[in-house]
Structure 1
Amino acid sequence: MIEPKSSFPVFIVKDLGAAKSFYTENLGFDVVFAGDWYIHLVSSTGVQVGFMLPEQPTQPPVFQKPHSGEGVIFSLEVEDADAAFAAAKSKSLKITLELRSEDWGQRHFCIQDPNGVYLDIVQSFEPTEEYQSDYVSK
C-alpha cells in the first residue's frame, strides 16, 4: 500500500508571476522555491501548492499543457468564511460563487485566480440531519 505523508496540487499555468502575486498577497502563502519554470508555495498552516510553466522539456507529455480552469477545484478551509468573503470583496478578487451555506456542512464561496484556477473557500459546520449519515466516522 502507498501511504502518503502529505499532498499538494501542482497547476500548470501560463503566468508564474501572477500566481505568485495572487497567492502571496491575497492568501498568505510564502514562496519556498522559485525557479524559472516552477514555484512552490506554503501557507503558515502548512498548505502547499505548486505552479509550473507549460511545455517544460524535463516533464512527460501529460504535464505539458496549461490548466484549462475546468474540472478542478482547489479547496482551502478557513475558520471564518464570512470574514474571508469580506476580505475577497475588499481586494476585488474574482468571485465566481457568492457566499452561501450548504446543508452538507459547508459555508463557502468561490474565487478564480489569474490563471483560471477555481478556489473554493470553505468553512465546515455540522451538516443537517439529512446529510449526517453520509459522513463516515472512524
Structure 2
Amino acid sequence: MSVRRVVPDIHTASLAESRDFYGLIGLEEVMNLGWVMTLASPGNPTAQISFATHDATAPVEADMSIEVDDVDAVHAAMVERGAEIVHALRDEEWGVRRFLVRDPNGRVVNVLSHRS
C-alpha cells in the first residue's frame, strides 16, 4: 500500500471566502462540488487543502483525507484491527471509492482512491 497525498479538511461556512483567502497565498481551486472544494498549488499539485460545508453522503465530516493506491486493502486492514469505521466503504458519484475511519485521537480520516 502506498499513500499518494494527505490533505487537511477544514470545515467552513464560506467556500468562497476560503478560496479567496488562500488564493492570496497562491493556491488555486482544482475541484468544487458546491459542498466541498479543494485548492492546490499550481507548481506542486499534491500540496492541497480541502474545505467543506458538510459531507454529502457521510454522517460525519472528515478532519483529513488520505489518498491511497488501494483503498480496499487499507479498509481490510482497518477492519481486521477493529478500527471504528464511521462511513462504510463505497463508490461515490464524484469518482472516488472511500470510507471514513476514526483514528486513536478521535479524528475522522477520509481514506480514498480515485476510480479509473
Greater C-alpha radius of gyration: 1
TM range (shorter): 0.3 to 0.5
TM-score by length of 1: 0.40
